[in-house]
Chains A and B, each alone.
Chain A
Amino acid sequence: MTFGQLPYDVAHVLGGIMLLISFTLLYQRRVAAVINALAMQGAVLAAAAAWQGFVQGAPQLYLTALIALVAKGVLIPLALRILVRRFNLDRTVEVALGIGVSMIAGVALVALAILVVLPTTGSAKALTREDLALALSVVLLGMLMMITRRNAILQVAGLMSAENGLILAAVGVTGMPLVVELSTAALVMVVLVVGAIFVLMMRGQFESTDTELFEQHRGEAD
């Protein structure tokens, strides 16, 4: 299966859209916009998983797709949006690294992902290899977002985006066992943390989600 064949092209396009959304996550200046982009990435992930389920004839991937669509496309973004509205958190995104610099770093990370994955995976099928390179790029961009944002909600968004990349990798590998279990376990982690932020905000123990406030509470300087 190579370039020019439908299964390959569609999978490629969906992976490419996810990577594009990862870049849009990097340059958003408002929390609400980040959440929208995240929901869109979740929905595209669901489409990518469903497409792989169809191409590979693996019905369990439809379940992964459904879980991704419901949880990442709808429920978690909804919860985050309620959180933002209720506690009036939608200020400008505070960045630890300028937006231009993080975009350049993002491009460098994508180059790194391609340089790492493509030469080492010569024995695997072309579709799998390129899917894996896209997926690793999404993972790395998610992590970049976790590093360059100071707001707890945006750090969780970065983690969720990284996790989307992981699931894209898992569904792209034909016959990967336990995909449903692994993706659910990864999802539970995000759900628990969003829930925890919610509870803490309700109880007033988190006056703000700006993690810089934490710095003054460290036990001692390292």
Chain B
Amino acid sequence: MPLPWLIVFLPWLGAAILAFIPREREAAAANVALSAASFALSLALLAYPEGVQGWTRVDALNTPLVILGFLIGLTTAVFSFGAIAAERFDPLRLRAYHVAFQVFMGAQALALLADNMGVMWVAIEIATMASVTIVAVHGTPAALEAAWKLFLLCGVGIALALFGTIILYLAAQPFVGHGDSGLSWAVLKGLAARCDPGLLNLAFIFLLVGYGTKAGLVPMHSWLPDAEAEGPVAITAVLSGLLLNAALHAVLRAKAIVAGNGNTISPGGFLLAFGFASLLLAAISLWRRRDARRFFAWSSIEHMGLATIAFGLGGAAANLAGLLHMIGHSLCKSAVFFGVGHAARLKGSQQIAAIGGLTVTHPALGWGLAAAIAAIAGLPPFVLFASEFLLVTEMAAQLPWLLVPLGLGLLTAAAAKVEVLQRLCLGDPTPDAGPPRRGLTTLVPLWSHLALALLLGLALPGALRAMLEAAARIPG
């Protein structure tokens, strides 16, 4: 079996095994081992030749995202190992949780590695179903409502994306024969210049709105805060870190096809509009949140908006900023969710008002969370500062008049985050609700993500930079 399929099927095989482990510690440990094996396997992609192979492709755009996905999968599994006792799953829910987690991991990898747009759609649909299962796993009314909202909105989203995929094929139909190649991204990109621009426009709009729903872009975002606030804590990290990336990656692939035809509408304008709507609405909404997990879910909407703005701007430098932003957001946001999840367990509530003074009572956790929040606020020296700086300079060069809303959005959002940083980590400590926990399974993932975000922010390794620069040329 070729490597891309091995990477997809290893988690799915593991899911089948995890379905038969009813005991909590064993299942959580097996989940960690499986995630570690998947991560190791995904590293082999670096040595794998680029190109299309059947339904899959390996290139500079998806390789870093796949490896990042499995890295976050591994750290999330470690966090989940420590957090799972607090979730108080019964045996059935425990198995459903682990199975859905690994099914999700395989599906997001397939969504990134797929060359065939139909396979990509199926993968995103499987990932959606898995995430609905995980969000609903507690079965409380709030969890069911969040899962229902996720299901309905994302169901509509992926329905629109499928319609877009069909029209994409219709555009290429006169030039491709029968067979699967009609939905191959590489073939479609090559043919785009000869396709009917009207059909490509129509396909792009449907794909953008469809996959944009999954990427949490405003105004299709309203499932995201609920889903990220109600599911098990560990899952929030992969939902915001991986699912959104896979969906945005699908939008990029669609953009790359449409950009190959000179007579279509410019896809960049649409991406800019969705991006600015997400950034500005999130920047305002951040000020009104009282629930810590909802607060950071809204910050995911903001960051997806920023990445979308970068891709809307287009060109190698702006695309590089967008990719770096996606990677940095995944790393920093999952670090934040590890910290917030642990703090919420200590304090017995995830309301911002219930958590305070963490640096005094729990220095390792408190300072780690403070650094992670500073990182997602875009403060130096972390990677999101680098990507936002790159975005702002590109914006100044290409569309200087848009610097005003961009700057307003960035500053409003960053100020809201600094305020929450002060309330959660500094100030007067609030009393702990439960017994003290050592929390190594939180601290190791949290600090290792921070170390990576710092490394990427200060000195992007040469090989990674070369890969991202090659990737930045793909969406056009």
Contact = CB atoms under 8 A, between A and B. Distances in A.
A194 to B, nearest CB: 12
Interface string A130-153: 001001100100010010000010
A121 B159 contact: no
A173 B173 contact: yes
B226 A175 contact: no
A33 interface: no
Nearest to B222: A222
A122 B196 contact: yes
Interface stretch (B70-78, B113-121, B411-419, B431-439): B113-121
Max chain B C-beta neighbours (<10 A), residue from A123, A173, A178, A193: A178
B15 to A, nearest CB: 15
Contact of B118 (A128, A178, A189, A213): A178
Contacts of B59: none
B183 A178 contact: yes
Interface in A183-222: 185-186, 188-189, 192-193, 196, 200, 203, 205-206, 211, 213-215, 217-220, 222
B371 to A, nearest CB: 26
Given A121-B202, A123-B198, A162 B144 contact: no
Contacts of A121: 170, 196, 198-199, 202
Contact of B170 (A116, A128, A136, A186): A128
Contact of A136 (B139, B151, B156, B163): B163
Nearest to A215: B145
A177 B172 CA distance: 12
A173 B202 contact: no
Nearest to B179: A177
Contacts of B198: 119-123
B166 interface: yes
A117 B170 CA distance: 12
B301 to A, nearest CB: 12
Nearest to A188: B129
A166 interface: yes
A107 interface: no
A200 B196 contact: no
B388 interface: no
Contacts of A45: none
Contacts of A218: 142, 145, 226
A219 B142 contact: yes
A139 B159 contact: yes
B125 A214 contact: no
Contact of B289 (A128, A152, A185, A220): A220
A159 B128 CA distance: 15
A174 B173 contact: yes
A206 B144 contact: yes
Given A200-B144, A218-B145, A173 B125 contact: no
A78 to B, nearest CB: 22
B229 A166 contact: no
B180 interface: yes
Nearest to A183: B162
A105 interface: no
Contact of A189 (B125, B148, B166, B170): B125
A163 B156 CA distance: 9
A189 B150 CA distance: 13
A132 B162 CA distance: 13
A214 B145 contact: yes
B136 interface: yes
Nearest to B230: A219
Interface in B131-175: 136, 139-142, 144-145, 148, 151-152, 155-156, 159-160, 162-163, 165-167, 169-170, 173-174
A176 B169 contact: yes
Interface in B287-317: 289-291, 294
A204 B230 CA distance: 20
Contact of B116 (A155, A178, A188): A178
14 contacts: A117-B202, A123-B196, A139-B163, A152-B148, A162-B156, A175-B173, A176-B182, A177-B181, A177-B182, A178-B118, A213-B141, A217-B142, A220-B291, A220-B294
Interface of A: 116-117, 119-124, 128, 132, 135-136, 139, 143, 146, 152, 155, 159, 162-163, 166, 169-170, 173-178, 181-182, 185-186, 188-189, 192-193, 196, 200, 203, 205-206, 211, 213-215, 217-220, 222
